[in-house]
Amino acid sequence: MAQMTYIEKDYFERLFDMETGYVLDFTNYTYQRFVADTINIDVYKKYHNLSKAKILRAIMDDCDNVTGKV
């Protein structure tokens, strides 16, 4: 399983403005829908008690960037 490089993760951090723990201006509901529509995961069932940014970081760590499977 290939993983994202530090540079690739840093691009995502900046793209989604994640340094504050938020991801863009998503609400919990819109963030959940965005992730579900994109990669078919209910983030609040899989990743409990994490900020939106920490959830996205966990998804990046868990994701196989060759097949796209989480």
Q: CA-CA distance, 44 to 50, in Å (whole number)?
A: 8
Write the pLDDT tens digit of every residue in 9-63.
899 899 999 988 889 999 999 999 999 999 899 999 999 899 999 999 998 888 7
**23-47 CB burial, b ≥16 within 10 A, e <16:** beebeeeebbeebeeeeebebbeeb
pLDDT for res 1: 47
- Percent residues over pLDDT 70 in the chain: 87
Who wins on pLDDT, 70 or 45? 45
Is the confidence at residue 68, as pLDDT, over 60?
no
Give the pLDDT of residue 20. 86
